[in-house]
Every structure is written in structure tokens, then in C-alpha cells.
Structure 1
């Protein structure tokens, strides 16, 4: 039950953060949003920092599970266009529905991690099947430093997620195609 309650509180904290921002993330706000008695959240997470760390761990857990499943369900892209389309779909998915709320919370936590290195460590990008598929695609085409270019490409995709969250609008598919082409670069020229 303790583990279930901690998960419920972390999930609720993600929603509170997405709705109210970092200033609105309080133990009382999480208690209210979870429809639990006042003091429940602080009984599980004594400090705000502990609550924030639990929230970030849960974000990473949810994101990793989603990315692992996506990478396992889809084979390595067959073409540059297919990779660009998958990345555009990823951007669209991360900016709508429940994933939008997680994206808003993630970016707020990323900014907060500049002041709290322990959060930065939790947020460090991890290997998963989706990342491996992008890296395999680049490697199969003879791209110099496919691991490094994968990191750069996915950082740019993350920037487009941020831009869509802030500015709204359609996913700029042409921009995504340009990013994929840039990541491929010349197989014989160093980046």
C-alpha cells in the first residue's frame, strides 16, 4: 500500500505541477488534488525537495516505459522520411493529452534542476529502445558518431516539444525533416 500511495502522490504532484507551476506545488495542494487528508503527502515526503524528487523519478519512469514500448513496437525506420515522420508524431504526442501535462512538468523540473543537481541526475537522459532505434538508423547509414548525433537530434526534438508547448500550433514537419537530414550529415565528414 505504501508504494501505491507514493505512486498516487507522485502522479498527483505531476498534475499539480502541470496546472499550478512550481510555486503551486505544495504538500497541501497534492493532498487536495488527490482527495486525501491534509498531511498525507508530508507523511510520505517530508520536504518539498523529497516531493519534487519523487515527482521527477515518476516522470522518468513513465517516460522510459513509454519510450521503451515505442521502440520495441516499431522496427528501425527504413528511410529518412520515416524517421522524420516518427519524430514529428512523437512531438505531437508529447504536446497533447496526458503526455502534455508530463511535458509541462518535465520542463519545469529541468529548469529547477539548474539549482538542484540531485534532480539533474534523475533527469539525465537514459538509453531506451526508441533512442536505440534512432542511433541504429544513423549507424546503418554510416553516420560519423551516431551516438553523439542521436543525442543532438533528440535534444533538438525536445526543443520542438518545448516550442509547441509554449507557442502551440502544428508540428513543423519540414523542420523535423531538416533536423534528420542534418543528423545524417555526410557519412564521411566529421560533425
Structure 2
């Protein structure tokens, strides 16, 4: 069963995705979650606490998704490029609200210190995951993340989430990565 905190936080993620960072208010979250007025402020007393809760929830959901990826790679029989494209497309479509909110809040210069800490923890976990999965060092993991994240942000900006474009990017990226690994 999903907790009240998760209902509030998941609704807050959707509010940011639909209304932008400026639209994030306790009342907007209550309305979207169809909760009585004041429910969000009972869970998160301040807007900063709500923003921090969003960043922590995003990190939690990202970690859950990443933890399932090695089993998917092993059990699905799909090649790594197809699974990578599927993963990217999932973040650009089904999990678009989470990805969009993660990017928007990450770029917010007024992000509270606790939310910055949650954002950095999330990025470290993603880097560590890539290090294990791709068997690369920390610098290469950051390069991989930056490259793929940049492509995904470009898709968000374009408003396309175009699978053929993502497939081409991933094919070129994996070709580059393999050639970089051979020359290293």
C-alpha cells in the first residue's frame, strides 16, 4: 500500500511537471491528489521540505528502477542497445513527469540545501550504477550519464520523445563507447 507521504510526493512531482516549479504549492498538490486542503502541509510543513521530499522520492524511484535493470538485461534476451533505448523512452514517456521534475528542480538556483543533497545523492547512485553495469571508472560513468541525460533533455525540449532519434543516438554512443574502451 502506498503511504500518504508517497501520494503527496508523487502528486507534487506531477504538479511540477504540469505547472512548472512556480506552480508548486501545498494547495496545488492537495488538489491534484484529491486530498483535503492542508493535507500536504501536514506531511511537508514548508515548501522547502516539499521540494526536498520530491528530490528524495525521485531518487528512491530511480534507484528502484535501476535495481531492476541488471535482471532485465540478463533475463530479457534483448541486446543492451534495445534495453538502453527502452529505458530512455520510459523516462521520456511513462516516467516523463519524474524525469522532467528532476531536471527542472535540479536547475533551480533556489533549491534548498537538503534538496541539493538529495539531488547529489541521486546522481551519485546513478553514476555508481553505471560504473558497475558498464564496468567503467567514475569519470567515464559521469561521461555516459551526461551524454545520455543531455540527449534526453534535448528530447524533452523538442517535445518529441522520438524513438528513432533515441535509437540513433544510442547506437552512435555505444559505438563510441566500444571504440573508447578498445583504445584505452
Scaled to the shorter chain, the TM-score interval is 0.7 to 0.9
2:146 paired residue number: 155
CA separation of 1:113 and 1:74: change in aligned 2, threshold 3 A? farther
| Preserved CA contact (<8 Å) 1:9 1:30 | yes
Q: Which runs of 5+ in 2 are unaligned?
A: none
List structure 1 runs of 4+ shifted beyond 6 angstroms: none
1:21-170 maps to which residues of 2 (within 5 A)?
21-75=20-74, 82-97=79-94, 99-112=95-108, 115-124=111-120, 125-127=123-125, 131-132=130-131, 134-136=133-135, 146-167=137-158, 168-170=160-162
Q: Distance in 2 between matches of 1:186 and 1:45?
A: 46
Does 2:177 match 1:179? no
Q: What CA RMSD, in Å, does the superposition of the two structures yield over aligned residues?
A: 2.8
1:92-120 residue CA offsets vs partner (Å, 9 max, x unmatched): 111112x0111111111111267434322
Distance 1:152 1:20 in 2: 31
Q: Is the 8 A contact 1:87 1:176 kept in 2?
A: yes
Q: Deviations over 1:58-102 (max 9, x none)?
A: 1111111011112233239x9xxx4333322222111112x0111
* Distance across 1 between alignment mates of 2:39 and 2:22: 19
More helix by share: 2
Q: What's the TM-score, normalizing by structure 1?
A: 0.80
CA–CA separation in structure 2 for the residues paired with 1:87 and 1:71 = 11
| Structure 1: runs of 5+ lacking an equivalent | 137-144
Any idea what SS the aligned residue of 1:90 has?
helix
